[in-house]
Structure formats: structure tokens, C-alpha cells
Amino acid sequence: MSEKGSQKRIFDFSLLRRVFRFAAPYKKKFYVSLVLAILLAILSPIRPWLIQVTINDWVPKGAAATSLLTKVDIVDIVIWITLIQVGLLLVEVLFRFYFSFLTAWLGQAVVKDLRVKVYKKVLGLNLAQFDTTPIGTLTTRTINDIEAINDIFSEGLIPIIADLLSIIAILAFMFWVDWRLTLISLAPFPFLIIATYYFKESVNKSFIRVRNAVASLNAFVQEHITGMSIVQAFASEERQFNKFKKINREHRNANVKAIFAYSVFFPLVEIVLAVGTGLMVWWAATHALKLEGQEAQSLIGKMISFYLCLNLLFRPLRVIADKFNVLQMGMVASERVFKVLDNDDYIKTEGTYAPEQVKGKIVFDHVSFAYVEERYVLKDISFTAQPGETIAIVGHTGSGKTSIISLLNRLYHIQKGTLSIDDVKIEEYKLDVLRRNIGVVLQDVFLFSGSVLDNITLRNAAISREQVIAAAKMIDMHDFIMQLPGGYDYNVMERGSSLSLGQRQLLSFIRALLYNPSILILDEATSSVDTESEILIQKAIDKLIAGRTSIVIAHRLSTIRKASKIIVLDKGEIKEIGNHDELMKNQGFYYKLHQMQFEKQGVM
């Protein structure tokens, strides 16, 4: 998002209303915070007024009193007024504490709800979104940007309202006491307004740059830490480090520019306050010579109360521009977060058909699919897999093999044709039911940081340890797991880096077996493992596919001889369908693939 575009949307009140809809469940606390803001504004000028009353009314009376009794009474009144001020100060402190706590609590409550909603949305996005959007960017939207929305409540709109009400109350009191002295004291005020405007604009631009730099940093670091093995294998450390330094330098420069604006603005506020105080003293001094007695005494009370009022007035003015920038940054962040929530690239249609278990008949009927419009990677695909049948799909890299299984799981939309399971279109199935009945074992097995047991069950509490052990024994993995330190409680580390590729593959087989799917998809499960692991995996495959409809994407043609039907793909089109013997007799695409592969291995 460009800076210019971001600034245009900052003042979109519909966006602000949308943020505050998330506060609807907590509206009582929101209204209480507004009431506290009003009470704090009312309390602001009371203490300066009491001091003025004390100096103007009671101190002169005490000095002029002729009897000891009268002086004692006046002293008691002054003490009582002082105690009232102390009490008001304590009340104000309590109100301010509860106000700050309430607005911060409100912000965190909204952040919690919003983060849950965003993460749920991310979970439901089509995989195409993850193909085109850096993971670090989505991380920034889910963590950093949502945290910035908290500031709309804790440091943004509600505190700004409280400060504005306080400023209005103090100004009203000052004009009520002496409008001429008020105008003199606030004579430099227009300069502060101009300075505040330029400060706000400068910091706003810097903060937008900071947000963009943070997103770039997150995306870069996440991507390169994930691909660190590639970076190191190709000796690219220095080049990537220089790129990181460039992004980090932009982040620093944006922050330094904001710091410079703060460094100029806050001393300027102090100067304006000092000039206002000086003008007040100058005006009072020029008029004091013309006044006598009670009027001269009242001028002293006015000056002291005005000095206190100026400090109370400039206290919120020091931070209101900063709070407005916080509000703006919260709005920028909310716009980005709502772009995720408004993303309509997800499975829009979900049916209601929810059988306990499917039989496993699969029909592709003239299916065409493209990741990008009109650039079809599958073209007019038609085939049928009967329940319990094993279908193998072969072809060169990029022929569309993996795209077929992605469509079967409804990870992407079909542009043309229909795909059905048990003669029911997959659009009519409930997504969780559909995916629960399809087990997938991918070539690149992803394991999460956690125990072996957690990775097998995916933390599904309904699956017991005994069930996991039984499944592991079924594919001869139990003894291997028990040899690990801690057995089933062994921490596999992030991405399963502490296990070999074959071991990770076998763990994914246990996972698939536990969920007992009616349809099993094996995506090149033996393409990158050694011979010993391949033998173990092949045995596991034989046990897994028994009694299930299976689609096997094969890289090694030796693993699919037993398939009842082999589909040969080339550039997204089906070139041949048949079993191994039939296709070898035809001497077509499959025959050529077979010959090429076995010639490379030195086998004919």
C-alpha cells in the first residue's frame, strides 16, 4: 500500500465505525470510559478555582481579621478548602487510573476478538493466496497491525476525546474568570496549532514508512530463515545480509525522522507555554499598578489560577498531536487488517451433505483449472476411480499431477467441468467432512515443533495414545519411535529437522492411517528417499491402500506397476490411460517415460 493511498483512507469514518463494531460486546465499558472522560474534564478547573477563591477571598479576610477567634475560623476554612483539593486530587487520580485501565482493557479485548477473526479467515483462504502473499506479510497483519488497533482505544480516540473535553473545560473557566487575560495568555496559541499540524503530518508519514518497513522485515526474515539451507548452500549469506541491511536501514531512517519531529515539537510546546506565561505576567504587572486593595489581591489569585490552568491546558496539548498520530496509525493498520477480512478468495460455497463415510468413487468430468485466469494447467481432464481402486498419475514436472489432488481437496476453485465423489459434486459436501474422508501424504512432509505424538494426532484429543501405537505397529514404525529419546514424546523440532525425510514420511503415513480416510492420496511419497526407506515406505503404502480408493502420484515408475489404472499427463492434458502392461504395449508417452527412466538407471 502506498503512503499516499494510506493517507487518503485515514479519515474514512466508515472504517472507524467498523473498528468500533468490535467494541459492541463491551459497550458498557465504552460508555463508562466516556462518562469518566466527562468527569475528568469537569474536575480539571476546580482545583485552580479553589486556589483562586482561597487567595482572593479568605487570605485577605484572615489578614484583616481583628480577633483571634475570627482568624482561627478563617484558618479552619482554608484548611478545609485544602483538604477538599487533596480529596479532589485523589478522586481525579482514581478516575484517571480507571479511565486508563478501562481504555487499555477495551483495546485488548477488541484485539483478542479481531485476531481470532483474522486467523480464522486466514485458515479459510484459498491456497492461491499463500502462493502470492509472503507469509511474513500475513504475520504482520495478524500480529503487529492488530496490536496497533489496540492503540485506537488505549491511546487514540477515547483519550483524544478526554483531552479535548479537558481543554474545553479549562478554556471555559479561563474565559469566565477573565477573558482579556485569557486572550493575552493564549496569544502564542496559533503558533502551536501550526506546529502541531506539521508535527502530525511529519510523524504520520514516518509511521507509515515504519509500518511498511516492519512488514518488509518480517517477510524477509521469515522467508530467509525458512530457506536458510539454500542461502548457505549457495554461499549467498553476504548478498542476503546486504539486502537485510538495506531494509533495516529504511526502518531506522523512518524512525529517526519521527524522532526528529518529536525532538522539535516538544521543546516548541514548552517555549509556547513559557511565552504565554510571560505575556500573562506582563499584562498582570502593567495592570497591577492601576489597582489597589482588594482588586490587586484578586489579580494575584487570577495569576496563580491562570498559571495552573496554562499547565493543565498544555499538558494534553503536548500529547494530543501524538495521540492523533497513534489514531491515524491504528486506522492505517485497521485498513490492512480489514483487507484480509474482506478477502473473498476463499471457498465461498459449502454444501450441507455430510455422510459419516464416503465409499470413494471419484469422477473428474471435463475439468479445466488455472491458477491464473486463462492460463490453464489442467485441460479437459476426465477419468473415474471406482471405490477401492488404485489410480496412478504420472508425467513430467509441471504436467498438472499435484493440481489434480489439490482440486480433490477443494484447495482451489474449478473453472470448468465438475468433480464428484460418490456421484455427489464436491461443492455440495461440507468442507470438514470432505477433507476428513481424504487422507493426503505429501512428498514434502511438514512437521510442527512438538512431540511425535502431537504431530501424528495434530493435537486431536479424540485420538488416544493407544490408537497411535496400534497404527505405528501396523506399518512397522513402533520400534523406530521407541528408539527415539522419549519415544512418542520426543520433540521433533520445527519442520521435523531432527528426523530423516523417510522417517518424516512414515510419520505422515501413521497420521493418514489414524484418520482412516476412504480416499488416500500419495504425492510422490518415495521420490526423495534412499532405497532402504523406500522399501519400508512401499510396505506402508501397501497396507495403507488396502480397501481404499487411492490416487498415487509417482515419480518412480517401478512403484506403480500394481495400479489398476495409470493416467499419463503431459502439459495438463491426459495422453494415455491404462494399466502398466497395456501402456507398455502401446509404446506411447508412458513407454517413453519408462524407457527414459530405466535407461538413466542403467536398466532395460
Alpha-carbon separation of residue 31 from 28, 92, 177 (angstroms) = 5, 18, 32
Instruction: Look at strands 549-553 and 565-570 and give their pairing.
Output: unpaired
pTM: 0.65
Candidate CATH numbers 2.40.50.180, 2.40.30.160, 3.40.50.300, 3.40.50.720; the one for domain 362-600: 3.40.50.300
Specify the domain boundaries for CATH 3.40.50.300 within the chain: 362-600
Strand 362-372 relative to strand 416-421: parallel, antiparallel, unpaired?
Answer: antiparallel
The CATH 1.20.1560.10 domain(s) of the chain lie at 3-341
Residue-wise pLDDT tens digits, 355-391: 888 888 999 999 998 887 778 889 999 999 999 898 9
Long-range contacts of 282-289 (CB under 8 A, 24+ apart): 283/180, 283/181, 283/184, 283/185, 284/181
Reported as a single tens digit per residue, the pLDDT across 294-311 is 565 677 778 888 888 888
Calpha distance 543→526 (Å, rounded): 15
Instruction: Assess contact for 192 and 272: CB atoms under 8 A.
Output: yes
Contact yes or no for 74/97 (Cβ under 8 A): no
Q: CA distances (Å), 291 to each of 184, 297, 298, 299, 324, in order?
A: 19, 9, 10, 9, 44
Instruction: Encode pLDDT of 435-472 as tens digits.
Output: 888 888 777 777 777 788 888 888 788 888 888 888 88
DSSP bridge partners of 391:
551, 565
- Report how far apart the first and last C-alpha atoms of the chain are (Å, whole number): 58
What is the predicted pLDDT for the residue at 134? 63
Fold exhibited by the domain 3-341:
ABC transporter transmembrane region fold (1.20.1560)
Report d(CA 396, CA 593) in Å as an integer: 8
| Most confident listed range (122-126, 444-448, 569-573) | 569-573
pLDDT digits (tens, 9 = 90+) for 128-169: 666 666 666 677 677 777 877 888 888 777 888 888 898 899
What does the pLDDT look like over 589-602, one tens digit per residue?
A: 888 877 776 655 54
Phi and psi at residue 412, in whole multiples of 5°? -135, 165
**Which residues touch 497 (CB under 8 Å, ≥6 apart)?**
none
